[in-house]
Amino acid sequence: MAEKLRIGVFVCDCGTNIAGFVNVPEVCEYAKTLPDVVYVKENMYTCSNAGIQEIMDAIKEYKLNRVVVASCTPRTHEPLFRKACEDAGLNKFLFEFVNIRDQCSWVHQKEKEDATEKAKDLVRMGVAKARLLEPLEEIKIPVERKALVIGGGIAGITSALSLAKQGFEVYIVEKENKLGGLLNHVHSLYPSNIDANEFLNELLEKVKKEKKIHVFLESEVESVEGYIGNFNVKIKGKKKGEIKVGTIIVAIGAKPYEPMYMYNYDEYENVITQFELENLLKENKIGKWKKIVFIQCVGGRGERVRYCSRICCMNSIKNARLLKKLLPESQIYIIHKGLQTYGTVYEDYCRKAREEGIRFVRVRDAVPTVSSLEKKDGKLVVGFYHPGLRRKIELDADLVVLSTPLIQREDAKKISQMLKVPLGQDGFFFEAHVKLRPVDFATDGIYMAGSCRAPADINECIVQAVAAASRAAIPMAKGYVKAEPYTPVIDEEKCMGCGVCVEVCPYGAMRLVEKDGRKVAENVPAACKGCGACGSSCIHKAINMRHFKDEQIMAQIEEAIE
Amino acid sequence: MKDVLIIGGGVAGIQAALDLADRGIHVYLVEKEPSIGGRMALLDKTMSTNDCSICILAPKMNECFSHPNVDVLEYSEVIGLEGRAGDFKVKVKRKAKYVDATKCTGCGDCMEKCPTEVPNEYNSYLDKRKAIFLPFPQAVPRKATIDDRYCLKLTKNRCGLCEKICKAGAIDYNQKDQIIELNVAAIIVAVGLSLYEPRDLYEYGYGKYDNVHTWMEYERLINAAGPTHGHLKCSPDGRRPKKIAFIQCVGSRDVKRCPWCSSVCCMVSIKSAMLANEHYNDLESYIFYSDLRVFSKRFYEYSKRGERDYKITYIHARPGEIKEDKRTKNLIIYYEDEKEGKVKELEVEMVILATPIMPAKDTKKIANVLGIETDEHGFIKTVDFLKYPVETTKPGIFVAGCCERPKDITESVIQASAAAAKAAELAG
Amino acid sequence: MLEGIIEKSKAYYCVECRKCSSICPITRIYGKFSPASIVERSLIGIEEEVLNSMDIWKCLGCGLCEEVCPSGVEFLHFMREVRNGARKQGNEGIPTHEGVFESIPKLMLEKNIDMDWLDNVETDEKSDIIYFAGCLPFFDIMFKEIGFDGKCIAESTVKLLNKYGVKPSIIYGCCGHDALWNGNVELFNELMNKNMQMLKERKAKKIIFSCPECYRTFKMDYPSMDVELMHISEFLADKDMKGGEAGKEYTFHDSCRLGRHLGIYEEPRNVLKKVGIKVKEMEHNKELAVCCGTSAWMSCDWKSEEIRKERLKEAKKVADVMITSCPKCQIHFKCTLSHENYGIEVKDFVEVVAEMIK
């Protein structure tokens, strides 16, 4: 037997914010006339301690089973009023918020009569929905206190160390036969010019000592099933395994772009890439170069990829300073389109480079960076247009170093599909929100760090890695996540198993499952955000969103157009 | 589990607070202003995403304030520290607001009637506010504060209007500053930034010419909640500008002033130019730069979009001087045009100067109280740029945001999460 | 060769922002000259072009570029060194007035000028307080017809010193400023040694200057001596004085050497205030004051004339009389005024003070 509705309506003055522009007593009187409304109260400030107490007392005294508050905005006050209901013993989802401030009194300050009528309409709509509200539960889903880190470069290692220090088991899965990623191919690190190997080995020592870190070398993640708190991961390779983890950090890094068929890179021996230079420095194979020219932005900033790779300016300056120290008589030029030596430390570093005799030459922001790179009488000649002097300049060189951007690795596509996480237009992983959630994926429980997100130097990789560890630690430390109550209700009779909802879901919270020989859609509450994309995309009308059901919204619309 | 103290309630402080609180660690968030939100709450839009700044921050501000694990101590300062990592004893002064927070509902009646107008730092001194005030409309907590430097009742025992008007009876002129002691395991310093005032760059006429503004003043001008309700108005007749010039590196990358690069200003100017063009479709913007700093994710593409779709012209030149037309108050910019090889004049109605981010005014003071070092520029120093990028020179005290060096919102948030992880190691 | 100069003058800090060129008074009217362009050519290694060009002689050494340069490039130092280098290669620029002002310093090297040409002043040959009057006597001969009165400047200076109880000993000599700024380092060194010897013999304790160029050279380009150096305005800055009714509007032109080079802006203004003159500021004043358009008698041509014209017009907007402390500035302005009357008078600082003081 359906319970008899007993709706309580609380209309707020909000001081003069509402009462100054809407006739609140009139709205209250009107609310009393609505069917199923058994209690109406006008409050000066519903959100004050007194106001909250009144709601709680009224629920108990008048046995209210639905509460409508007509006041300011749910953005700030919904949690407050919901908690009041909960504390009084009423399921907090049996509460409906009507905004008669931002959406009424504040925008109709000169039309008191019309504003009052609109407020009445809004209250009537709110009550119509409240009649159809159902109690919802927020289920707690347990979270495994283990993390998977895909990629064993500087970001991966740092994330793992941070997580281990915070008390969580961590599995690092690394494709190569050793940890370190690109760090293994770099000679030294700016701004302190510390030896990269030394730096890496210090970290590897820490990893070795950390019992909570388990490393899978020469291995890859084969498949990932599940959702936050409960990812089932299959690892293949030299070390196989199946593990269950609560969170995943993607740290696969990036790789340097090979400038094939550009700037005569393939033709001339003395035209090398930055990473090839790093290698020569590592192996101590420095030639007796007298004139060295670095060319920046080779392939970047619109040439082959659209973005700026951030680290190459500083990298070139670091290597230039090193070479100048090793070859004091040499003349070193860095040809750039706009030096990216930002911040305090890097600007300082660049000034020191100038003092040491490194010359910087600016060219226009056009593609290619230089107009010619040819051999003349056995010497390399770099030709470019100097915009300041408005003429073509030619520089001799016996070594030309091409700075190419970092680009996303091929495995990124595979990982993107496997984890159902997006890649951006630039090929790098796409974060939940550029500003406020930069190391989170939109899918809960999966995070990113390092150059797989965007080219990053060591300092940035490390800070991102610790940040990702911090984010991953939240659900693992808490031990549970609350499942979203606004999940879709799927009518399995109507569902045709077309899979559109699975495609459309940004959070990987919908999947197709086998039931009685046919495919039907199923929701994963732990990953769901209640956005309703599935509901609005289902052409078979098989999906109804809890708390925003079709019938609830239709009831409001009908009241509105009455 | 032990508690953590976060000093500074800007976006970095809020992010760190939420990261810690969400995992069950109790956080004290000390903020010297009457509201949390910091600089980000006063911006109009954020660069590279063109999000409304307060719109994306306010939910976090509210979440932070109402989080069961966060105690926001607004209008407060840290005045003393003892102890060591894992066991710090902190003295915090809670300044008197002269308003009972349990009764005040932020209705705003008192502010309307207060007779005392004072310079409004929250609108970059472009207009005035009252002695009893909310720093901005979306303030969290939304409670009035009386500025005891200016209040007639508190300084001269006159007026007292707000007490009479307040229906909730929340005014209390007898409130006193409170000193409380906190025991925390770790501290995160996120005290934020201040901006350089380019008065000594006489060649640009800041402070002399009406239509020359800094980028923060522009944020407030183009903000719908600001002094001109989002309309750009030029002296002398309030007309709208048709051409705006943005001059980069005014005071930054300058050996006599701030030798560092402020990292964000190039993008901020591009964003500002985009906003202006969205506002007024025929508006043309000119950005005068030395090196356009567009190094982060999708920044370069953003700069190209500005050129393509928003009528932005990038001019590689630092102008030598700006003259004012005495009659129209228009500004004439002298710069050397690379392409033509001579000094040209550009007449615009408004000039926006991109001034650098500097350490917040009290950084040295708080560093002294905490016993941590600052670097030669006054920013909080980290132990090692590579190995310990969020650790200050005292174990147990971490740093995040612009107080460490200029950075944008994304990097502040990342660093804040990292600092939270380090703090959690000590508190967990 | 330029490598060394780049290092000494820190020209490597240049980020090619072009702020210097956009404030340079020469570039403003003649785009082919650009301080940034000279530095950029040196940095990229086009040495010969730089050393052989006439461009390098167009610089006024006014220091506006250095004042606004954010990167710390010492352009004035750079120019002097480059001119020295150019000279060695036979590029000596085009001096004005048939090079007579290049010869006079050489003359003063050989001879000791001992003139008794000032009236109504008290001097003392044995005094250890020196008034270094520089090369004032020579200018009267050349420029009396355009209204320049060096004798009056020297007299006024000594009279003011007498008023406050100082009987100076007067030295006429060439400080070497022009030689140095024209890259003639050898001549400069000879002049410097001669002057320092002379001062040592006189056991000088204090030297007072009325000419900013001499003052700058002694203070910044000579090695430090155990002697107090000051400009007449600094001497007068702390003295009691009374003045009268101004009667006219006055403005003050900060000469490059006294202003930007030495940083003396307030002292002359304070002294003028004390004698009853409140200075009305021109649009470009103090740190941003514009040069008089000619420096060290080099490359004086239509560009210099243009610069002066603009400056005089600027002065006319706010005043009837333009006061300045530099004899060179006065000569140059009076020269332009002799071609066309711009409705403004140019007077020397000490001349005005001596007139107004009661």
Q: What is the rounded distance in angstroms from the CA atom of residue B173 to the CA atom of residue B184?
A: 32
Same domain, yes or no: C228 and C131: yes
Is B255's CB within 8 Å of C283's CB? no
Domain boundary among C44, C63, C88: C88
pLDDT at A2: 65
Domain boundary among C65, C88, C111: C88
User: Side chain identity at C289, as an amino acid letter?
Assistant: A
pLDDT at B127: 94
**B275: contact with A, CB 8 A cutoff:** no
A464-494 burial by CB neighbour count: b if 16+ within 10 A, else e? bbbbbbbbbbbbbbeeebebbbbbbebeeee
DSSP B235: T
> Which of A71, A76, A309, A480 is the best substitution to test chain B (most B C-beta atoms within 10 A)?
A76
pLDDT of C170-194, one tens digit each?
A: 999 899 999 999 999 999 999 999 9
Residue with tokens 């500025």: B147
Q: At what angle do helices A154-165 and A196-209 cross, to 10 degrees?
A: 30
Is A478's CB within 8 Å of B294's CB? no
Is A389's CB within 8 Å of C13's CB? no
Q: Which of C13, C28, C70 sits opposite B249 (nearest CB)?
A: C70
pLDDT of A111-164, one tens digit each?
A: 999 999 999 999 999 999 999 999 998 889 999 999 999 999 999 999 999 999
Same domain, yes or no: C232 and C255: no
Nearest alpha-carbon partner for C56 in C18, C25, C28, C85: C85
User: Side chain identity at C5, as an amino acid letter?
Assistant: I
Domain boundary among C237, C271, C301: C237
Number of structural domains in chain C: 3
Q: Tell me the pLDDT band of A311, cut-offs 50, 70 and 90.
A: very high
**C74: contact with A, CB 8 A cutoff:** no
Nearest CA in chain A to C46: A393
Residue with tokens 């749910």: A74
Chain C: give the shortest CA distance to residue B157, in Å.
44
B-chain residues near C34 (CB < 8 A): 336, 341
Is A76's CB within 8 Å of B62's CB? yes
The ipTM is 0.95
Is A388's CB within 8 Å of C40's CB? yes
Range of the domain at C158: 97-237
| B215, containing H or E segment | helix B215-222
Domain assignment present for residue C310? The answer is: yes
Is B261's CB within 8 Å of A14's CB? no
Domain assignment present for residue C216? The answer is: yes
Tokens standing for A284?
Answer: 């101590």
Nearest CA in chain B to A454: B297
Q: Which of C12, C36, C45 sits opposite A388 (nearest CB)?
A: C36
Q: What is the rounded distance in angstroms from the CA atom of residue B158 to the CA atom of residue A356?
A: 66
Tell me the count of B-C CB pairs closer than 8 A: 70
Two domains, one topology: B4-95+177-192+360-427 and B197-356:
yes
Same domain, yes or no: C265 and C208: no
Tell me the count of A-C CB pairs closer than 8 A: 31
Characterise A193 by phi-psi region: left (phi > 0), alpha (psi -120 to 50), beta (else).
left
The sheet that has A379-386: what strands, in order across it?
A372-376, A379-386, A391-397
Q: What is the rounded distance in angstroms from the CA atom of residue A455 to the CA atom of residue A255?
A: 9
Nearest CA in chain A to B140: A76
Using CB atoms, which chains have 3+ pairs under 8 A with A?
B, C
> Which CATH architecture is the domain B197-356 placed in?
3-Layer(bba) Sandwich (3.50)
Tell me the count of A-B CB pairs closer than 8 A: 197
Domain assignment present for residue C244? The answer is: no
Is A393's CB within 8 Å of C44's CB? yes
Same domain, yes or no: C273 and C153: no
Chain B: give the shortest CA distance to residue C125, in Å.
45
pLDDT of B284-317, one tens digit each?
A: 999 999 999 999 999 999 999 999 999 999 999 9
A-chain residues near C10 (CB < 8 A): 355
**C40: contact with A, CB 8 A cutoff:** yes
Chain A: give the shortest CA distance to residue C38, in Å.
9
Is C28's CB within 8 Å of B256's CB? no
pLDDT of C252-291, one tens digit each?
A: 999 999 999 999 999 999 999 999 999 999 999 999 999 9
pLDDT of B60-83, one tens digit each?
A: 998 899 899 999 999 999 999 999
pLDDT of A258-308, one tens digit each?
A: 999 899 898 898 999 999 999 999 999 999 999 999 999 999 999 999 999
Residue B27 in 3-state DSSP? Answer: strand
Chain C residues within 8 angstroms (CB to CB) of chain B? 13, 15-24, 27-28, 31-32, 34, 36, 68, 70-72, 283, 286-288
Nearest CA in chain C to A388: C37
Q: Residue C30 is part of a domain; what is its CATH number?
A: 1.10.1060.10
Q: Tens-digit pLDDT profile for chain C (358 aa)?
A: 889 999 999 999 999 999 999 999 999 999 889 999 999 999 998 888 999 999 899 999 999 999 999 999 999 999 999 999 999 999 988 888 888 888 888 888 888 887 888 889 999 989 999 999 998 888 888 899 999 999 999 999 999 999 999 999 999 989 999 999 999 999 999 999 999 999 999 899 999 999 999 999 999 999 998 999 999 999 999 999 998 888 899 999 999 999 999 999 999 999 999 999 999 999 999 999 999 999 999 889 999 999 999 999 999 999 999 999 999 999 999 999 999 999 999 999 999 999 998 8
Nearest CA in chain A to C42: A359
DSSP A105: I
Domain assignment present for residue C242? The answer is: no
Q: Residue C192 is part of a domain; what is its CATH number?
A: 3.40.50
DSSP A73: -
Same domain, yes or no: C224 and C256: no
Strands A140-142 and A480-482: antiparallel
A-chain residues near B142 (CB < 8 A): 76
Q: Is the pLDDT score of A1 beyond 50?
A: no
Chain C: give the shortest CA distance to residue B198, in Å.
13
Same domain, yes or no: C101 and C83: no
Q: Which of B339, B377, B416 sits opposite A344 (nearest CB)?
A: B377
How many CB atoms within 10 Å of residue A463? Answer: 25
CB-CB contact of B118 with B129 (8 Å): yes
Using CB atoms, which chains have 3+ pairs under 8 A with B?
A, C
- Listed by start position, the domains of chain B span 4-95+177-192+360-427, 109-165, 197-356
Percent of all residues in chain B with a pLDDT value above 70, rounded to a whole number: 100
H helices of B67-147, in order, are: 109-113
Multiple choice CATH, B4-95+177-192+360-427, 3.40.1010.20, 3.20.20.70, 3.50.50.60, 1.10.3720.10: 3.50.50.60
Chain A: give the shortest CA distance to residue B423, in Å.
10
For residue A374, the cross-strand partners are: A381
CB-CB contact of A351 with B260 (8 Å): no
Q: Is the pLDDT score of B121 beyond 70?
A: yes
A-chain residues near C16 (CB < 8 A): 362, 388
